[in-house]
Structure 1
């Protein structure tokens, strides 16, 4: 099987949270959809709640603490992302946006992304299209067509066979297709010597 990496960003503030629940369901579906394409996904989940202080410190100092640096490196090296945020005041959470702000502006170029959100009411569902999708398009990521929104009512007893499940499966299939047509991400070593050492020693 071809090996690929998936990073799941969960911006839920409570423990447990519906945001993390949705993130887990989506990552499991993505693993299954990728397997059908002969792709084995390695999944890394980033809980932004655990990095909140580090994110604030990075915004103030410009330097990420070790745990945040590890999360940023994982995002940059990932072959695909699933980004899940709660919706506050008709947009993504401040914590979610702050994490995106500390990632290099070119880190998501041509990276497949599934966007998802949770909220108390379906009235917030359009935030995926007027807030999240434009954000990732601005960063030149490849956002799959299907966005996944889960309101409180979607977590009913029949949700496994309902519209939420179908949206998750459809988005996962779209992500798997994007992975199938791409080569693995290669992250350049910033400390690699890109100049021939013999050339450096030549007299001017």
Structure 2
């Protein structure tokens, strides 16, 4: 499975990138994934050109394809003026509104104070709900005082487990649908594939329980 991490940090080194890397590593501990990181900072000029002339550069085009083709996303932004950064928003403004439909997304943010933690719920979650992505229940915010303090590692692991469960559940459903379709063809023209089980919606709690038992 392909996991794409979108990090919108502006500095080097970046606490935003550090949080993104920890979330990706935690997800990889729960399920095998190929991780690709998109550093939005490196695409700033191409994003500006695309917004003004309508044509993406080569690096930006590759990044957009990676995001839309991923099995799951981790998106992390620094907090500016009580919201996500303008560069972060500009990047996702370039993605077709239907391209993230049903895609599992873990949202996270970093900031200088814990007072900005609600940015996850009043800005990031509504953005990806509008894009019809499936946002995992646990969002992760890391203020300056959270690094090295109790609690952050547990939040990271819980959110990563939820993302892994969603990614694994969707992949298994796709495989089951494909398998049933083949079975139906092999059975002959008069037999229809049994897709009842393949199309069954697996409750999120059941997915987490299966992941924990694996």
TM-score, normalised via structure 2 length: 0.79
Give the equivalent residue in structure 2 for 1:79: 71
Distance in 1, Cα, partners of 2:94 & 2:48: 10
CA shift, 1:183, in A, is: 2.6
State the shift of 1:10 in Å: 0.2
Mapped pair 1:21 → 2:26: no
Shift of 1:33: 1.3
Q: Specify the alignment match of 2:187 in structure 1.
A: none
Larger RCO (CA under 8 A, 6+ residues apart): 1
Partner of 1:133: 125
Superposition pairs for residues 1-204 of structure 1, below 5 Å? 4-34=1-31, 40-156=32-148, 159=149, 162-183=150-171
Please give the secondary structure, in 2, of the residue aligned with 1:52.
helix
Deviations 1:111-145 (A, max 9, x none): 00000000000000000000000000000000000
> How far 1:176 sits from its partner (Å)?
1.0
Partner residue in 2 for 1:194 = none
Q: Determine the C-alpha separation between the residues in 1 that align with 2:50 and 2:38.
A: 17
**Structure with greater proportional helix content:** 2
* Distance in 2 (alpha carbons) for counterparts of 1:171 and 1:8: 14
Structure 2: give runs of 5+ residues left out of the alignment: 175-214
Cα shift readout 1:11-55 (whole Å, capped 9, x = no counterpart): 000011100000011100010011xxxxx2000000001000000
Number of matched pairs: 173
TM-score by length of 1: 0.83
Consecutive aligned runs of 4 or more in structure 1 exceeding 3 Å deviation: none
| RMSD (Å), alpha carbons | 1.1
Unpaired runs of 5+ residues, structure 1, are: 35-39, 186-204
